[in-house]
Every structure is written in structure tokens, then in C-alpha cells.
């Protein structure tokens, strides 16, 4: 047949089979044998299995280049899996068989600097030396075979999930030539099928090699090295070849004798060995440094810096390390209640004149170990992950980071806050510390024990909670020492628990019982309460809500911006009514009213309220706010009523600072609008008094002049006044505050001569008092349309500042304000004549509402520069006139009303 050119070797074996299942046994023997022979020479091989019609299995193993392996392996895998899934006739319908394939990988992980192949290989054993263990998840099968060769390929096993393990040696084996190999795999035995399983066993312990330099050998008269592993197991390192150790903490100990006779036990820093790794340590001596320094160089795979130990006789003979406690004595037992950590400082100081080599810690604690606290650890090992884990659990230290020197401090104060009580467990925590210096000297052990007691916390004896109430009271039974840290929770409408404000006060001097007032519970339905303290949560209590015999009610029309009326009534939901001992009218006189502005969480007694019969009139409320009112009547809380006060809405452009100007056809007239544009809510008669304005100005046509067209209502300082031109002593145009005020002027206008200052026909054609009002000018009727402004509040008064300049001393201005309901009915109105003043002065127009007054819908405000009809005649008494021959800015001007800073009071 055709053979690819890159196939370097091929071996074929033909086996005659009587039964298909015999294939598995023969294949295993043949395959394993070939692997043992050829795997050391060829890293990649290929199996081809062909089952002939003559019941022969042709097994071909091709050794080939790596690039051809992928595709051929897929073909071989398909053939093998198909064969392994063959059915057979089992002894039971609930059985299946297992086909096991076991491999051995002796390669270990070494540092990049290890180029020698022996350092990359553990002691080799054969796959047939691996023992097999099979255990079913349900516990029905637990079998052991000393070798894979003894595993029965034709045995039936119950269907189900299994774990198969292959191993050589024992997990506890340590020493020379003591490798421990292990591998495992999960499998599921299926009915009437053979299930394949493949296991590769790898080195499960670690290898350590120590090299002693010539400088080291020459410096010491004698030396004895040992490897110390977990559990204080000591292995004499008397051959300079790899020694097998269990994974975990490993320390190289050196018992040395100097030529001076000084002896010491040197224990440099401990390191952590991982499975399937080969670590190399080098021990050297720098004899030129003082009396000599020992240098231990760690494998580059370890993030551990070299350790240097001073070999002077003085340090070798230094005293053993000491551990000095602060806040406790060694052997003390500190008792506390779970979640109530003692406040005392708990620290100890480590002093090691010979340098800190290790600080061993052992712990027995059901609570801490469950949270990740190690049962044993070396706090001086420089393990950053360990230090972070312990710090998260309350242990912190100074001086134990990488390369610790001679002193360190360990703080245990916060550890107690992480020790929790566990039901059914031993709730005693014991921590023991032992320090070792670089010369092998060991401190006396320091022991501290914590005995944690169970936190007792429960809620009981709930008081009655009425419908509408947002507070609930009950008793707290608590044996902790800080009730201020107890958090009360209620279950909200979403079914989740949330914290609520709670006032907790003691009921007894012993402090085991407290009164709880929970604020902010839901206002309807059952009240669910529970207490939490740290990680502890009490059982919840459920409080049934009662219907109160009395209730509060209100009418929307009785709610203003700063006042409202609420009435005490018999609660119609309280049935039967015969249960009520007295009627609302009988208890109102002694009832007390309360208000809440935080959604009914907190109620405060109302001081600004007057009671008349069963109705309170409450004043001093905040506009645009929601209030919850309730009362206590006959010593019982009432059902609450909720209301929203009206907004303290102000009039638009109340400060008269916003104006819009549309230019006329000449620079002597224009149209002013008291707002941001021509759609201002304030109306004027400016469109009327400028209606004949044009751009043509000559001795025959004066339509471009100010005395033909001028805006009677305008902002201060925005136009020219000829008062001083005509009279020489004009009143100054000025605002009360800000930049502008409204000037409302009586003006003469129309197509006229203007050359005369009399009323003999040569004066103005029309005289119109100026106006400022809420509404629009109707050009079709040439009149004001006092439509008002949509307005939902009911102010108590209108306040503004004005000053008034009269042309005719008998003249006076006018202001009126009206509030109406949706039907147009007047709810309140006020007006005033405005007389001459030398300067701005304040004015307040009260608005008085009757009883049972409806809600407001519109507001009307109107200012007028002249309200005396006798002053509306065209003459020089009522108007100042332009100079003779003026064809520009001269005007006919009557009385002027200056208005600024409008304000609605509530």
C-alpha cells in the first residue's frame, strides 16, 4: 500500500480474534509495550486500527513528523472511539464495561536556567507499575488493583458515575527515590456499552536539589543539612541529588560548626513547593565579609530574594527570639459575644537578635478556617497573598514583609470581629505563634484563645399599628454590648428588606431588653420587622394593622398655598360603629394634630393651628408641598389625610426687566412689548397709539414724529422725554430695583399738526391713557382684551412699588386684581386709585376669599395711567405739548405711572 514519505517507521501486528471484545485486551498489551520501546525516541506516533472481515485486527503504529500528526490523529481517534462504544451482551441490563488507558508523564517544571535534562525528569517508573483505584459516586463500588495489567477489561460494572485514579507511591512519601505519581479521571458507565477512560499520571510531590559551593565546604568544620517539610518532617539531605518532598512549606536547615568551635542551626527563609516542580537551592559563603556571611540563593522560579546570614560568633551565640504580648498574656482566654468584638488592643512584638527566619502560626477555629484562615502558616515567608488574606480577616503586621530583619509587630485586635458563632461547632479559637531566628533558635510559644458566645437577638411584644401609621413599636431582646449597631429593617412593597430609622432605648438596667420605635414602615398592610447586627439576622415578626376609630379628612378647596383646613371625623372603615366609645365631636377638644413632610415617616406636633369644632385651620405651611396630617384622639392615632398646598406662583416678568421692541418706520416711534417677544402675556395699548405711524415726515405730513405715534407703555430710560424740553424740571425716569421699571403714560397721538400748544385744533388728534394688563390687544376692535392668565393659586394680596407723575394735579392712576374660578366667577378682587408721589412707594392690595370658595383658574391684573375721565380731554392742562415746529421727538404727554417689582403674597 501507499506509505507517506514523512513516515519514518512503521510496525504492524496482525492478531487473530475470536471475539471482538478480546481486541481491547490484546490492544492494550501491544500498545503499552510499543510505547515503552519507542516513546523515548519519537515524541509523536500514530495508531491505525483496521478490523478486517477475517476477524483480524491490524494495528499499525506510524512514527512521523509533527505537522502530519493532527489530521491522522483525528482519523485514529474516530476508529478507536467507535470501537470502544461497541455493545456487548452483559450479565445484567444495568451493567457496562470500562476500557482503561493509562500513561505516565515524568517531566517536571524547572526554572529557565536548568538546561540539564535530568533536572527536568523525575525518577522514571513504568505505566504498568501504576496502581488503579475505582470508586463509584454512590459508594457501591470501591476497588483497587496493584497494576493496570490486573484491571479486568471484561468485567461488568454497575452503570453510573465513577472516579478512576492511577498512582505510584503514597502522598506521604518523602526522601530520595520517593516519587509520588498520581492522575485521575471522571467517567460514566453506560448500560451495555464499554466506556473508554484515559489517565495520565504526573509527579504529585516536589523535588528539591541543594548545591553546596566549595567556599561553603571550606568555611565550616562540619555541616549537616536537613529539609524540613509540613508537620515538622525532617529529611537528612546527605546526597547531592534530588530529594522528593510533599508540596507545601519547605525549609533548609543547616547544623554547622565553625573552625572557631562556634555551632549554630541555620534556618533561612521557608519557601512553598508545588507539585511537579523541581527546585534548586545553592548554599554559598562569602568569607571576606566580616566574620563571614552565608548566602542562600533560591531557585529563580521562587519570588524569594537571596538570604544573607551573618556568621559572626556574637550573633551565633545571641539569645533565642522573644514574643512579648500587649493587652493579654500568653495562655489567656478572651470571651465575647459574636459580633461584639472586645475593644482592647491585642498585639505582640517579636524580637530576634539573630534575624527573623520564620514566625509559625497554627490555628484551631471553626469560624476562621471556614473563611480561609490557614491552619498553619509562616507569617515571615513573604507570601503577599497570605498577608492580604489575613489582613482581610483582621491580622496585620509590620516588619514581616520580604526580608524581615530583627523586629516585627503583629496586631490581632481586629481578628475578633471576624470570629462568628457557629451552631453545633466548637466555638473556641486558639492561635499559637512560635518564632525562629536564622540560627535555629526558637522562641517560647505564644498562645491566645478566644471563646465566642452566641448572639441572642429577637423582636417581640409588638404594639398595635393602625392603618395609615408609618411607625411601629416592639421589644428588642439583645445580649450584645452595642445596641446602637442594631439595624431595624422592614419589608417593602417589592418584598425586599430595607433599613428604616429606629429609636432604640433600654427597658432594663441589665440592657438585655430594649424598646424599638421603627419609623418609615409602609402605611398600609401588614408590618414586617426584623433586626440585623453585623452578619446576624433575627427572625421577622409580623404586625397586623388595626383600623383606627377616627380619621382626618380635608376638602381640596380648603387647601391654599400656606394654609389648610383638616377635619376630625368618625372613621367609616371602623366597624361596627358601636365599638367606638365616643364620637369625633366629643374627643376633638382634647385631640392633638400632627404633620409630616417626609412622606409620613416622621410626624411633628402642629403649633400653628386653630381648632373650631372638629376642624383645624393650619397656617404657616410651605407652598407647593405635600403634607400628611394625623391626630391622636381619645389616645389613639387617627387615619391620616394627605394634601398638597398650592404653589406660590408669581406673575410673569414681575420685575419688569424683560422687554421686546419692534422698530417703527422712523427712529422717533416704535412698539414696546413687556415680555420676551410680541406674544408677551402682558398687554398694552401701544399698537393703538402707534397705529397711524409712518415713515413720511415733512411740513405737510407728520406721521413719522413721536407726537403722531408713540408707545404709551414702555421700559424706563428707553425713550426720550420732552418734559424738560417743555418744562425744564422733568421727573426722572428710574426703576425701583434692577435695570427697568414699566412706564405707563397718557399720550396724545394721531395725524395732527403739533405746531400749537393749545386745544384750538392745532393740538393732537387723540388722547389715550396708557395701560398694562394681563391679556392681548385686539386690533380688530382697537381695544384691550382683558383675558387674564391661567392661574391655579389663590394669593392673599398683590404688592408692588410705584410712583406717579401727574400732568393735571387732579389726575390719578388705577390698579385692579381679580382671581376667578373656571366658570369665571370672581373669587377675590381688589383695586386702588394711585395718587401722585414724589418717589417710589410700596402698595399692597389685599384679596379676601369667602368660605367654600372654589379653586382658582385665572388671574386678572390691570394698571392704568389715568382713571379720571375729566383728565382725558385734549388740552394743555392734561397734556404737555411739543415745541413749535418740532418734526421729530416732541410728544404730547399726560400723567405717567411707574410700576416695578410686582409680587403676589400667599
Q: How confident is the model at residue 52 (pLDDT cuts 50, 70, 90)?
A: very low
DSSP H/E element including 475? strand 471-478
Mean pLDDT of 214-220: 91
Number of H-type helices and E-type strands within the chain: 9, 65
Phi-psi region of 374 (alpha: psi -120 to 50; beta: other; left: phi over 0): beta
User: Using alpha carbons only, what angle is made at residue 318 by residues 315 and 324, rounded to the nearest 5 degrees?
Assistant: 130
For 469-525, the pLDDT digits (tens) are 888 999 999 998 889 999 999 999 899 999 999 999 998 766 689 999 999 898 888
Q: Which fold has domain 206-316?
A: Immunoglobulin-like (2.60.40)
% of the chain with per-residue pLDDT over 70? 85
Task: For residues 651 and 152, give the distance between their C-alpha atoms in angstroms, rounded to a whole number.
Answer: 100
655 phi and psi angles, rounded to 5 deg: -90, 0
For residues 852-875, average pLDDT: 97
DSSP 743-783: EEEEEEESS-----SSSSSSS-SEEE--EEEESEEETTTTE
Of residues 31 and 408, more confidently modeled: 408
**Range 57-64 average pLDDT:** 38
Q: Where are the beta strands (DSSP E) in 17-112?
A: 45-51, 56-64, 95-104
Q: Domain 457-545 falls in which CATH fold?
A: Immunoglobulin-like (2.60.40)
Residue position matching grid coordinates 437577638: 457
Q: Where are the domains of the chain?
A: 1-86, 206-316, 322-453, 457-545, 550-644, 660-905
Query: Could you say which DSSP state residue 826 is in?
Result: E
Phi, psi of 575 (to 5 degrees): -125, 150
Looking at domain 550-644, what is its CATH homologous superfamily? Immunoglobulins (2.60.40.10)
**Mean pLDDT lowest among 436-440, 627-631, 846-850:** 436-440
- Spatial CA neighbour of 805 closest among 835, 833, 767, 831: 835
The tens digit of pLDDT for each residue in 260-277 reads 888 888 887 778 899 999
Into which CATH architecture does domain 660-905 fall? Sandwich (2.60)
Structure-model confidence comparison of residues 769 and 706, the more confident one: 769
Assign 11 a pLDDT band (cuts: 50, 70, 90): very low
Nearest to 819 by CA among 790, 843, 842: 790
pLDDT score for 65: 33
Three-class SS state of 83: helix
How far apart CA 86 and CA 103 sit, in angstroms, is 23
Percent residues over pLDDT 90 in the chain: 64
CA separation for the pair 364, 419 (Å, rounded): 12
Question: Which pLDDT score is estimated for 112?
Answer: 67
Please calculate the CA angle 376-382-384 and round it to the nearest 5 degrees. 90
DSSP assignment string, 272-284:
EE-TTBEEEEEEE
With left for phi above 0 and alpha for psi between -120 and 50, is residue 520 left, alpha or beta?
A: left
With a cut of 90, say whether residue 368 has pLDDT above it.
Answer: yes
**Cα gap 686→807, rounded to integer Å:** 20
- Position 790 pLDDT exceeds 90: yes
d(C-alpha 337, C-alpha 343), whole Å = 12
Q: What is the pLDDT of residues 168-179, one digit of tens each?
A: 999 999 999 999
Model confidence band, residue 17 (pLDDT cutoffs 50, 70, 90): very low
Nearest C-alpha neighbor of 683 from the set 721, 653, 719: 653
Residue range 86-131, pLDDT digits in tens = 555 555 568 999 999 999 999 999 886 555 545 678 887 888 899 9
User: Cα separation of 268 and 404, whole Å?
Assistant: 11
User: Do 550-644 and 457-545 have the same topology in CATH?
Assistant: yes
Domain formed by 322-453, architecture: Sandwich (2.60)
Amino acid at each position: 500500500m501507499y506509505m507517506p514519505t514523512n513516515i519514518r517507521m512503521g510496525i504492524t501486528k496482525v492478531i487473530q480474534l475470536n471475539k471482538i471484545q478480546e481486541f481491547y485486551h490484546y490492544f492494550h498489551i501491544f500498545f503499552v509495550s510499543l510505547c515503552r520501546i519507542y516513546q523515548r525516541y519519537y515524541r509523536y506516533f500514530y495508531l491505525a486500527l483496521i478490523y478486517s472481515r477475517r476477524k483480524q485486527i491490524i494495528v499499525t503504529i506510524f512514527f512521523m513528523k509533527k505537522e502530519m500528526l493532527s489530521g491522522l490523529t483525528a482519523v485514529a481517534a474516530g476508529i478507536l472511539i467507535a470501537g470502544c462504544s461497541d455493545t456487548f451482551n452483559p450479565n445484567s441490563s444495568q451493567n457496562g464495561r470500562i476500557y482503561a488507558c493509562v500513561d505516565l508523564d515524568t517531566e517536571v517544571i524547572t526554572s529557565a536556567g536548568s538546561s540539564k535534562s535530568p533536572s527536568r525528569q523525575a525518577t522514571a517508573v513504568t505505566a504498568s507499575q501504576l496502581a488503579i483505584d475505582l470508586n463509584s459516586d454512590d459508594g457501591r463500588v470501591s476497588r483497587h488493583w496493584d497494576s493496570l495489567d490486573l484491571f479486568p477489561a471484561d468485567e461488568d460494572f454497575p452503570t453510573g458515575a465513577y472516579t478512576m485514579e492511577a498512582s505510584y507511591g503514597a502522598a506521604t512519601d518523602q526522601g530520595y527515590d520517593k516519587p509520588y505519581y498520581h492522575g485521575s479521571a471522571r467517567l460514566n458507565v453506560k448500560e451495555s456499552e464499554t466506556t473508554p477512560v484515559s489517565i495520565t499520571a504526573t509527579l504529585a510531590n516536589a523535588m528539591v536539589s541543594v548545591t553546596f559551593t566549595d567556599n561553603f565546604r571550606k568555611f565550616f568544620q562540619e555541616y549537616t543539612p536537613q529539609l524540613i517539610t509540613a508537620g515538622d518532617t525532617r529529611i537528612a539531605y546527605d546526597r547531592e541529588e534530588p530529594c522528593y518532598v510533599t508540596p507545601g512549606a519547605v525549609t533548609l536547615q543547616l547544623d554547622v560548626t565553625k573552625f572557631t568551635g562556634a555551632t549554630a542551626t541555620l534556618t533561612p527563609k521557608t519557601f512553598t513547593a508545588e507539585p511537579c516542580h523541581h527546585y534548586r537551592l545553592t548554599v554559598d559563603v562569602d568569607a571576606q565579609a566580616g566574620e563571614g556571611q552565608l548566602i542562600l540563593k533560591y531557585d529563580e522560579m521562587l519570588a524569594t530574594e537571596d538570604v544573607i546570614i551573618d556568621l559572626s560568633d556574637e550573633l551565633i551565640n545571641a539569645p533565642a527570639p522573644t514574643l512579648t504580648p500587649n493587652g493579654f498574656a500568653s495562655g489567656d482566654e478572651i470571651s465575647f459575644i459574636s459580633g461584639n468584638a472586645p475593644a482592647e488592643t491585642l498585639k505582640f512584638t517579636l524580637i530576634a537578635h539573630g534575624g527573623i527566619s520564620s514566625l509559625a502560626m497554627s490555628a484551631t477555629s471553626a469560624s476562621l478556617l471556614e473563611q480561609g484562615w490557614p491552619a498553619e502558616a509562616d507569617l515571615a515567608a513573604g507570601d503577599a497573598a497570605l498577608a492580604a488574606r489575613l489582613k482581610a480577616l483582621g491580622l496585620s503586621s509590620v516588619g514581616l514583609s520580604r526580608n524581615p530583619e530583627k523586629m516585627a509587630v503583629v496586631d490581632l485586635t481586629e481578628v475578633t470581629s471576624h470570629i462568628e458563632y457557629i451552631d453545633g461547632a466548637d466555638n473556641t479559637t486558639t492561635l499559637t505563634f512560635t518564632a525562629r531566628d536564622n540560627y535555629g533558635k526558637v522562641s517560647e510559644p505564644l498562645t491566645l484563645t478566644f471563646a465566642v458566645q452566641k448572639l441572642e437577638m429577637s423582636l417581640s411584644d409588638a404594639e398595635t399599628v393602625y392603618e395609615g401609621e408609618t411607625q411601629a413599636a416592639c421589644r428588642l431582646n439583645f445580649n450584645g454590648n452595642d445596641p446602637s449597631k442594631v439595624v431595624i429593617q422592614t419589608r417593602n412593597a417589592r418584598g425586599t428588606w430595607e433599613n428604616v430609622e429606629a429609636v432604640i432605648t433600654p427597658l432594663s438596667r441589665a440592657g438585655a431588653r430594649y424598646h424599638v420605635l421603627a419609623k418609615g414602615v409602609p402605611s398600609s398592610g401588614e408590618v414586617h420587622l426584623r433586626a440585623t447586627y453585623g452578619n446576624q439576622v433575627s427572625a421577622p415578626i409580623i404586625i397586623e394593622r388595626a383600623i383606627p376609630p377616627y380619621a382626618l379628612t380635608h376638602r381640596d378647596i380648603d387647601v391654599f398655598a400656606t394654609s389648610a383646613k383638616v377635619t376630625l371625623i368618625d372613621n367609616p372603615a371602623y366597624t361596627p360603629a358601636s365599638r367606638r366609645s365616643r364620637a369625633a365631636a366629643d374627643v376633638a377638644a382634647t385631640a392633638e394634630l400632627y404633620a409630616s413632610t417626609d412622606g409620613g415617616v416622621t410626624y411633628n406636633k402642629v403649633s400653628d393651628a386653630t381648632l373650631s369644632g372638629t376642624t383645624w385651620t393650619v397656617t404657616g405651611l410651605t407652598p407647593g408641598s405635600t403634607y400628611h396630617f394625623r391626630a391622636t384622639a381619645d389616645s389613639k392615632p387617627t387615619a391620616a389625610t394627605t394634601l398638597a398646598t398650592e404653589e406660590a406662583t408669581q406673575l410673569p416678568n414681575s420685575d419688569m426687566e424683560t422687554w421686546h421692541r419692534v422698530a417703527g418706520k422712523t427712529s422717533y416711534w416704535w412698539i414696546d412689548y413687556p415680555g420676551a417677544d410680541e406674544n408677551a402675556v402682558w398687554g398694552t395699548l401701544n399698537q393703538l397709539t402707534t397705529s397711524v405711524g409712518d415713515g413720511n415726515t415733512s411740513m405737510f405730513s407728520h406721521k413719522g414724529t413721536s407726537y403722531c405715534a408713540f408707545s404709551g407703555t414702555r421700559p424706563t430710560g428707553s425713550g426720550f422725554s420732552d418734559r424738560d424740553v417743555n418744562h425744564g424740571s422733568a421727573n426722572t425716569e428710574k426703576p425701583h430695583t434692577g435695570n427697568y421699571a414699566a412706564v405707563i403714560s397718557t399720550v396724545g397721538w394721531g395725524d395732527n399738526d403739533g405746531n400749537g400748544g393749545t386745544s384750538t385744533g392745532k393740538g393732537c388728534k387723540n388722547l389715550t391713557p396708557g395701560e398694562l394688563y394681563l391679556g392681548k390687544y385686539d386690533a380688530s376692535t382697537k381695544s384691550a382684551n382683558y383675558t387674564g392668565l391661567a392661574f391655579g393659586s389663590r394669593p392673599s394680596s398683590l404688592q408692588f412699588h410705584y410712583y406717579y407723575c401727574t400732568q393735571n394735579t387732579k389726575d390719578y392712576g388705577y390698579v385692579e386684581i381679580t382671581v376667578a374660578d373656571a366658570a369665571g366667577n370672581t373669587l377675590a378682587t381688589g383695586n386702588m386709585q394711585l395718587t401722585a408721589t414724589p418717589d417710589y412707594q410700596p402698595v399692597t392690595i389685599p384679596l379676601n376669599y369667602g368660605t367654600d370658595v372654589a379653586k382658582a383658574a385665572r388671574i386678572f391684573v390691570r394698571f392704568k395711567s389715568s382713571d379720571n375721565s375729566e383728565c382725558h380731554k385734549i388740552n394743555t392742562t392734561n397734556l404737555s405739548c411739543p415745541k413749535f415746529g418740532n418734526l421729530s421727538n416732541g410728544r404730547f404727554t399726560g400723567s405717567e405711572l411707574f410700576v416695578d417689582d410686582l409680587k403676589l403674597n400667599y
